[in-house]
Amino acid sequence: MSRIILEHVTKRFGDYAAVNDLSLEIESGAFFSLLGPSGCGKTTTMRLIAGLETADEGRILIDDKVVFDAADSTVVPPGKRGIGMVFQNYALWPHMTVRENILFGLAVRKIEKADQEERLRRVLSRLQISELVDRYPSELSGGQQQRIALARELVTGAKVLLMDEPLSNLDAKLRIDMRVELKQLHEETGATVIYVTHDQIEALTLSSTMAVMKLGVMQQNAAPSEVFAKPTNLFVAQFMGHTPMNILPATIQGNSMQIPGGSLPRAASSASCADGSQILIGARPEELLLGTTQDERSISVRVESILPMGYDSLVRVSVEGAELTIAADERTRTVDVGDDCFVTFDDTQLHCFDAETHERLG
Protein backbone atom coordinates (compact mmCIF):
# COMPACT_ATOMS: atom_id res chain seq x y z
CA MET A 1 0.00 0.00 0.00
CA SER A 2 1.50 3.30 -1.03
CA ARG A 3 -1.51 5.52 -1.05
CA ILE A 4 -0.83 9.24 -0.79
CA ILE A 5 -3.29 11.58 0.84
CA LEU A 6 -3.19 15.36 1.06
CA GLU A 7 -5.71 17.07 3.30
CA HIS A 8 -6.29 20.81 3.00
CA VAL A 9 -2.64 21.50 2.33
CA THR A 10 -1.64 25.15 1.97
CA LYS A 11 1.83 26.49 1.29
CA ARG A 12 2.53 30.20 1.26
CA PHE A 13 5.56 32.07 0.03
CA GLY A 14 5.16 35.40 1.75
CA ASP A 15 1.53 36.30 1.17
CA TYR A 16 1.14 34.25 -1.96
CA ALA A 17 -0.39 30.81 -1.59
CA ALA A 18 1.55 28.70 -4.07
CA VAL A 19 -0.62 25.75 -3.05
CA ASN A 20 -4.05 26.62 -1.70
CA ASP A 21 -6.19 24.25 0.35
CA LEU A 22 -5.29 21.24 -1.74
CA SER A 23 -6.95 17.91 -0.99
CA LEU A 24 -6.02 14.84 -2.98
CA GLU A 25 -6.09 11.12 -2.71
CA ILE A 26 -3.73 9.16 -4.92
CA GLU A 27 -4.40 5.43 -5.05
CA SER A 28 -1.62 2.95 -4.50
CA GLY A 29 -0.05 2.06 -7.83
CA ALA A 30 -1.60 5.01 -9.63
CA PHE A 31 0.16 7.03 -12.29
CA PHE A 32 -0.93 10.46 -11.21
CA SER A 33 -0.16 13.55 -13.27
CA LEU A 34 -0.19 17.14 -12.14
CA LEU A 35 -0.88 19.49 -15.00
CA GLY A 36 -1.18 23.23 -15.23
CA PRO A 37 0.34 26.41 -16.58
CA SER A 38 3.71 27.67 -15.42
CA GLY A 39 3.76 28.87 -11.83
CA CYS A 40 0.53 27.16 -10.81
CA GLY A 41 2.17 25.23 -7.97
CA LYS A 42 2.91 21.80 -9.46
CA THR A 43 6.53 21.67 -8.36
CA THR A 44 5.61 23.05 -4.96
CA THR A 45 3.00 20.33 -4.49
CA MET A 46 5.54 17.68 -5.36
CA ARG A 47 8.16 19.16 -3.04
CA LEU A 48 5.62 19.24 -0.23
CA ILE A 49 5.01 15.53 -0.69
CA ALA A 50 8.75 14.88 -0.79
CA GLY A 51 9.33 16.95 2.34
CA LEU A 52 11.65 19.40 0.61
CA GLU A 53 9.21 22.16 1.51
CA THR A 54 7.16 22.41 4.66
CA ALA A 55 3.48 23.29 4.28
CA ASP A 56 1.78 25.90 6.44
CA GLU A 57 -1.46 24.05 6.87
CA GLY A 58 -2.93 20.62 6.36
CA ARG A 59 -1.85 17.02 6.62
CA ILE A 60 0.01 14.65 4.31
CA LEU A 61 -0.04 10.86 4.57
CA ILE A 62 2.11 8.41 2.65
CA ASP A 63 1.31 4.77 2.99
CA ASP A 64 -1.18 5.61 5.76
CA LYS A 65 1.62 7.15 7.81
CA VAL A 66 1.44 10.83 8.70
CA VAL A 67 4.52 12.50 7.21
CA PHE A 68 3.30 16.03 7.74
CA ASP A 69 0.76 17.50 10.08
CA ALA A 70 0.48 21.20 10.74
CA ALA A 71 -1.65 20.56 13.83
CA ASP A 72 1.15 18.96 15.85
CA SER A 73 4.07 20.16 13.67
CA THR A 74 4.98 16.66 12.52
CA VAL A 75 7.54 16.84 9.73
CA VAL A 76 9.14 13.60 8.63
CA PRO A 77 12.41 14.36 6.82
CA PRO A 78 12.55 13.50 3.09
CA GLY A 79 14.87 10.55 3.56
CA LYS A 80 12.40 8.84 5.85
CA ARG A 81 9.37 9.11 3.56
CA GLY A 82 10.25 6.14 1.38
CA ILE A 83 10.17 8.06 -1.87
CA GLY A 84 12.33 8.48 -4.93
CA MET A 85 12.52 11.69 -6.89
CA VAL A 86 13.64 12.49 -10.42
CA PHE A 87 14.48 16.16 -10.76
CA GLN A 88 13.82 18.21 -13.85
CA ASN A 89 17.55 18.85 -14.34
CA TYR A 90 18.23 15.22 -13.26
CA ALA A 91 20.49 16.39 -10.41
CA LEU A 92 23.14 13.79 -11.21
CA TRP A 93 26.18 14.35 -9.01
CA PRO A 94 28.79 15.54 -11.47
CA HIS A 95 31.77 14.35 -9.43
CA MET A 96 30.55 10.75 -9.30
CA THR A 97 30.46 8.14 -12.05
CA VAL A 98 27.21 6.56 -13.12
CA ARG A 99 27.97 3.62 -10.82
CA GLU A 100 28.62 5.88 -7.84
CA ASN A 101 25.51 7.89 -8.57
CA ILE A 102 23.32 4.81 -8.66
CA LEU A 103 24.90 3.12 -5.64
CA PHE A 104 24.77 6.23 -3.43
CA GLY A 105 21.23 5.57 -2.21
CA LEU A 106 22.01 1.91 -1.52
CA ALA A 107 25.10 2.81 0.50
CA VAL A 108 23.06 5.26 2.56
CA ARG A 109 20.57 2.49 3.23
CA LYS A 110 23.45 0.20 4.25
CA ILE A 111 22.58 -2.50 1.72
CA GLU A 112 25.11 -5.31 1.53
CA LYS A 113 27.81 -4.96 -1.12
CA ALA A 114 26.85 -8.11 -3.04
CA ASP A 115 23.22 -7.09 -3.08
CA GLN A 116 24.20 -3.61 -4.27
CA GLU A 117 26.06 -5.03 -7.25
CA GLU A 118 23.20 -7.31 -8.13
CA ARG A 119 20.68 -4.50 -8.02
CA LEU A 120 22.98 -2.26 -10.02
CA ARG A 121 23.34 -4.92 -12.70
CA ARG A 122 19.59 -5.45 -12.90
CA VAL A 123 18.66 -1.81 -13.19
CA LEU A 124 21.40 -1.12 -15.73
CA SER A 125 20.32 -3.93 -17.98
CA ARG A 126 16.65 -3.07 -17.57
CA LEU A 127 17.33 0.48 -18.75
CA GLN A 128 19.91 -0.65 -21.33
CA ILE A 129 22.67 1.52 -19.98
CA SER A 130 25.19 -1.11 -18.85
CA GLU A 131 27.96 0.30 -21.04
CA LEU A 132 27.73 3.74 -19.39
CA VAL A 133 28.54 2.58 -15.89
CA ASP A 134 32.00 4.15 -15.59
CA ARG A 135 31.26 7.45 -17.24
CA TYR A 136 30.75 10.79 -15.59
CA PRO A 137 27.46 12.63 -16.10
CA SER A 138 29.16 15.25 -18.27
CA GLU A 139 30.04 12.47 -20.71
CA LEU A 140 26.40 11.51 -21.26
CA SER A 141 23.71 12.74 -23.63
CA GLY A 142 20.52 14.24 -22.24
CA GLY A 143 18.59 11.03 -22.82
CA GLN A 144 21.27 8.95 -21.12
CA GLN A 145 21.37 11.30 -18.14
CA GLN A 146 17.62 10.92 -17.89
CA ARG A 147 17.95 7.15 -17.72
CA ILE A 148 20.64 7.34 -15.05
CA ALA A 149 18.45 9.65 -12.99
CA LEU A 150 15.63 7.12 -13.30
CA ALA A 151 17.93 4.22 -12.50
CA ARG A 152 19.17 5.98 -9.38
CA GLU A 153 15.63 6.13 -8.02
CA LEU A 154 14.45 2.75 -9.27
CA VAL A 155 17.38 0.85 -7.79
CA THR A 156 16.29 1.60 -4.24
CA GLY A 157 12.92 0.01 -4.89
CA ALA A 158 11.07 3.09 -3.65
CA LYS A 159 7.32 2.56 -3.72
CA VAL A 160 6.59 6.19 -4.49
CA LEU A 161 8.27 7.93 -7.38
CA LEU A 162 8.07 11.68 -7.84
CA MET A 163 9.02 13.09 -11.22
CA ASP A 164 9.17 16.80 -12.03
CA GLU A 165 8.93 17.31 -15.77
CA PRO A 166 11.44 14.53 -16.36
CA LEU A 167 11.12 14.62 -20.13
CA SER A 168 11.06 18.35 -20.70
CA ASN A 169 14.76 18.57 -21.57
CA LEU A 170 14.63 15.88 -24.26
CA ASP A 171 13.96 16.34 -27.95
CA ALA A 172 10.59 15.39 -29.38
CA LYS A 173 11.55 11.94 -30.66
CA LEU A 174 13.29 10.84 -27.46
CA ARG A 175 10.40 12.15 -25.45
CA ILE A 176 8.01 9.75 -27.16
CA ASP A 177 10.37 6.80 -26.64
CA MET A 178 10.81 7.62 -22.97
CA ARG A 179 7.07 7.99 -22.54
CA VAL A 180 6.58 4.40 -23.63
CA GLU A 181 9.44 3.33 -21.41
CA LEU A 182 8.02 5.11 -18.39
CA LYS A 183 4.65 3.49 -18.90
CA GLN A 184 6.25 0.04 -19.00
CA LEU A 185 8.40 0.74 -15.96
CA HIS A 186 5.37 1.86 -14.05
CA GLU A 187 3.55 -1.34 -14.89
CA GLU A 188 6.54 -3.51 -13.97
CA THR A 189 7.31 -1.87 -10.64
CA GLY A 190 3.80 -1.14 -9.50
CA ALA A 191 5.08 2.00 -7.81
CA THR A 192 2.87 4.98 -7.19
CA VAL A 193 4.04 7.67 -9.58
CA ILE A 194 3.42 11.37 -9.20
CA TYR A 195 4.29 13.09 -12.40
CA VAL A 196 4.49 16.82 -12.97
CA THR A 197 4.22 18.02 -16.50
CA HIS A 198 3.43 20.92 -18.75
CA ASP A 199 2.63 18.63 -21.60
CA GLN A 200 -0.96 17.47 -21.74
CA ILE A 201 -0.25 14.73 -24.25
CA GLU A 202 2.16 13.23 -21.73
CA ALA A 203 -0.48 13.49 -19.04
CA LEU A 204 -3.20 12.04 -21.24
CA THR A 205 -1.16 9.09 -22.49
CA LEU A 206 0.57 8.14 -19.24
CA SER A 207 -1.71 8.75 -16.35
CA SER A 208 -4.43 6.77 -14.69
CA THR A 209 -5.61 9.95 -12.98
CA MET A 210 -4.64 13.55 -13.34
CA ALA A 211 -5.22 16.88 -11.69
CA VAL A 212 -5.26 20.30 -13.29
CA MET A 213 -4.09 23.24 -11.19
CA LYS A 214 -4.41 26.99 -11.55
CA LEU A 215 -2.83 29.59 -9.25
CA GLY A 216 -2.33 27.04 -6.51
CA VAL A 217 -5.90 25.76 -6.60
CA MET A 218 -6.83 22.36 -7.94
CA GLN A 219 -9.46 22.63 -10.66
CA GLN A 220 -10.23 19.03 -11.54
CA ASN A 221 -9.01 15.62 -10.46
CA ALA A 222 -10.21 12.72 -12.59
CA ALA A 223 -9.28 10.18 -15.23
CA PRO A 224 -7.65 11.80 -18.27
CA SER A 225 -10.53 10.87 -20.58
CA GLU A 226 -12.98 12.54 -18.24
CA VAL A 227 -10.90 15.68 -17.90
CA PHE A 228 -10.81 15.88 -21.67
CA ALA A 229 -14.46 15.03 -22.24
CA LYS A 230 -15.98 16.81 -19.28
CA PRO A 231 -13.78 19.74 -18.23
CA THR A 232 -15.11 20.99 -14.97
CA ASN A 233 -14.79 24.65 -15.82
CA LEU A 234 -13.86 27.06 -18.54
CA PHE A 235 -10.18 27.14 -17.48
CA VAL A 236 -9.73 23.37 -17.76
CA ALA A 237 -11.69 23.33 -21.01
CA GLN A 238 -9.41 25.89 -22.58
CA PHE A 239 -6.25 24.46 -21.07
CA MET A 240 -6.82 20.95 -22.43
CA GLY A 241 -6.60 20.22 -26.15
CA HIS A 242 -4.15 21.10 -28.94
CA THR A 243 -5.79 24.38 -29.70
CA PRO A 244 -7.90 26.23 -27.18
CA MET A 245 -11.59 25.47 -27.18
CA ASN A 246 -13.88 27.93 -29.01
CA ILE A 247 -16.09 29.79 -26.60
CA LEU A 248 -19.24 31.65 -27.66
CA PRO A 249 -21.88 33.47 -25.65
CA ALA A 250 -25.35 31.93 -25.94
CA THR A 251 -28.85 32.92 -24.81
CA ILE A 252 -31.38 30.20 -23.98
CA GLN A 253 -34.71 30.66 -25.80
CA GLY A 254 -37.15 27.81 -25.40
CA ASN A 255 -35.69 24.85 -27.19
CA SER A 256 -32.93 26.74 -28.92
CA MET A 257 -29.86 28.84 -28.08
CA GLN A 258 -29.10 32.17 -29.75
CA ILE A 259 -25.42 32.47 -30.68
CA PRO A 260 -23.63 34.97 -32.92
CA GLY A 261 -24.66 34.24 -36.50
CA GLY A 262 -27.73 32.14 -35.78
CA SER A 263 -29.28 29.65 -33.40
CA LEU A 264 -28.71 26.02 -32.40
CA PRO A 265 -30.86 23.35 -30.80
CA ARG A 266 -30.53 23.60 -27.05
CA ALA A 267 -27.66 21.48 -25.73
CA ALA A 268 -28.63 18.65 -23.40
CA SER A 269 -26.35 19.87 -20.62
CA SER A 270 -28.12 23.23 -20.45
CA ALA A 271 -31.28 21.53 -19.17
CA SER A 272 -31.13 23.28 -15.82
CA CYS A 273 -30.98 26.79 -17.30
CA ALA A 274 -34.00 29.09 -17.18
CA ASP A 275 -35.45 30.59 -20.31
CA GLY A 276 -33.61 33.75 -21.36
CA SER A 277 -30.47 33.02 -19.30
CA GLN A 278 -27.01 33.72 -20.63
CA ILE A 279 -24.44 30.93 -20.80
CA LEU A 280 -21.15 30.19 -22.55
CA ILE A 281 -20.86 27.30 -24.93
CA GLY A 282 -17.63 25.61 -25.90
CA ALA A 283 -16.63 23.44 -28.83
CA ARG A 284 -13.17 22.14 -29.63
CA PRO A 285 -11.87 22.93 -33.13
CA GLU A 286 -12.04 19.18 -33.87
CA GLU A 287 -15.71 19.07 -32.88
CA LEU A 288 -16.76 21.60 -35.54
CA LEU A 289 -17.42 20.87 -39.18
CA LEU A 290 -16.74 23.25 -42.04
CA GLY A 291 -18.98 22.94 -45.12
CA THR A 292 -20.92 24.62 -47.88
CA THR A 293 -24.38 23.39 -46.95
CA GLN A 294 -26.58 24.78 -44.22
CA ASP A 295 -28.75 22.92 -41.74
CA GLU A 296 -30.39 23.72 -38.38
CA ARG A 297 -27.11 23.16 -36.50
CA SER A 298 -24.98 25.48 -38.59
CA ILE A 299 -24.25 29.19 -38.83
CA SER A 300 -22.93 31.26 -41.71
CA VAL A 301 -19.32 32.45 -41.41
CA ARG A 302 -16.54 34.00 -43.45
CA VAL A 303 -13.05 32.43 -43.72
CA GLU A 304 -10.37 34.83 -42.40
CA SER A 305 -7.19 32.79 -42.52
CA ILE A 306 -5.93 29.25 -42.99
CA LEU A 307 -2.97 27.69 -41.13
CA PRO A 308 -1.95 24.45 -42.88
CA MET A 309 -0.59 21.83 -40.45
CA GLY A 310 0.01 18.78 -42.56
CA TYR A 311 -3.08 16.57 -42.75
CA ASP A 312 -5.13 19.15 -40.96
CA SER A 313 -5.36 22.86 -41.19
CA LEU A 314 -6.65 25.38 -38.73
CA VAL A 315 -9.25 27.57 -40.34
CA ARG A 316 -10.13 30.83 -38.64
CA VAL A 317 -13.56 32.16 -39.42
CA SER A 318 -15.48 35.18 -38.19
CA VAL A 319 -19.10 35.76 -37.49
CA GLU A 320 -20.67 38.93 -36.12
CA GLY A 321 -17.49 39.96 -34.31
CA ALA A 322 -16.88 36.51 -32.86
CA GLU A 323 -14.08 34.26 -34.08
CA LEU A 324 -13.96 30.48 -34.32
CA THR A 325 -11.15 28.06 -35.08
CA ILE A 326 -11.97 24.86 -36.92
CA ALA A 327 -9.72 21.90 -37.56
CA ALA A 328 -10.41 20.92 -41.18
CA ASP A 329 -9.18 17.88 -43.05
CA GLU A 330 -6.74 19.31 -45.58
CA ARG A 331 -7.58 16.66 -48.22
CA THR A 332 -11.27 17.44 -48.33
CA ARG A 333 -11.11 21.16 -47.67
CA THR A 334 -12.88 23.15 -50.35
CA VAL A 335 -13.15 26.61 -48.84
CA ASP A 336 -10.49 29.31 -49.12
CA VAL A 337 -9.71 32.67 -47.50
CA GLY A 338 -12.54 35.15 -48.14
CA ASP A 339 -15.17 32.49 -48.88
CA ASP A 340 -18.51 32.45 -47.16
CA CYS A 341 -19.40 29.03 -45.77
CA PHE A 342 -21.07 27.24 -42.85
CA VAL A 343 -19.88 25.85 -39.53
CA THR A 344 -21.87 22.93 -38.15
CA PHE A 345 -22.03 22.26 -34.40
CA ASP A 346 -22.53 18.87 -32.76
CA ASP A 347 -25.04 19.64 -30.00
CA THR A 348 -24.39 16.34 -28.22
CA GLN A 349 -20.77 17.31 -27.63
CA LEU A 350 -21.24 20.96 -26.78
CA HIS A 351 -19.77 22.07 -23.44
CA CYS A 352 -21.89 24.54 -21.51
CA PHE A 353 -20.56 26.86 -18.82
CA ASP A 354 -22.15 29.32 -16.46
CA ALA A 355 -21.49 32.83 -17.76
CA GLU A 356 -20.68 34.14 -14.29
CA THR A 357 -18.90 31.36 -12.44
CA HIS A 358 -17.45 29.64 -15.53
CA GLU A 359 -18.42 26.30 -13.95
CA ARG A 360 -19.55 23.44 -16.13
CA LEU A 361 -23.32 23.01 -16.51
CA GLY A 362 -25.02 19.66 -16.57
Ligand X SMILES: Nc1ncnc2c1ncn2[C@@H]1O[C@H](COP(=O)(O)OP(=O)(O)OP(=O)(O)O)[C@@H](O)[C@H]1O
Residues that bind ligand X (CB under 6 A): 13, 18, 36, 38-44, 198
Q: Which is nearer to ligand X, 101 or 220 (CB)?
A: 220
Question: Which residues contact other proteins (rule: CB under 8 A)?
Answer: 13, 50, 52, 54, 71-75, 77-80, 83-85, 87, 89, 91, 93-95, 104-105, 108-109, 152, 156
Return the one option of ligand X, Mg ion, other proteins, none that residue 209 interacts with (CB less than 5 to 8 A, by type).
none
Q: Which is nearer to ligand X, 38 or 73 (CB)?
A: 38
Smallest gap, in angstroms, from Cβ of residue 175 to ligand X? Answer: 16
Return the one option of ligand X, Mg ion, other proteins, none that residue 136 interacts with (CB less than 5 to 8 A, by type).
none
> Which three-class secondary structure string do you get for 197-224?
ECCHHHHHHHCCEEEEEECCEEEEEECH
CA distance 24 to 231: 18
Smallest gap, in angstroms, from Cβ of residue 82 to other proteins? Answer: 9
Smallest gap, in angstroms, from Cβ of residue 93 to other proteins? Answer: 6
CB 2 within 8 A of CB 62: yes
Smallest gap, in angstroms, from Cβ of residue 69 to other proteins? Answer: 8
Q: Which is nearer to Mg ion, 43 or 209 (CB)?
A: 43
CB 28 within 8 A of CB 2: yes
CA distance 89 to 77: 22
* Piece in contact with Mg ion (CB under 5 A), picked from 35-43, 51-59, 153-161, 353-361: 35-43
Return the one option of ligand X, Mg ion, other proteins, none that residue 41 interacts with (CB less than 5 to 8 A, by type).
ligand X
User: Residue 3: CB partners within 8 Å, gap ≥ 6?
Assistant: 25, 26, 27, 28, 61, 62, 63, 64, 192
- Residue 43 engages Mg ion in binding (rule: CB under 5 A): yes
Smallest gap, in angstroms, from Cβ of residue 48 to Mg ion? Answer: 13
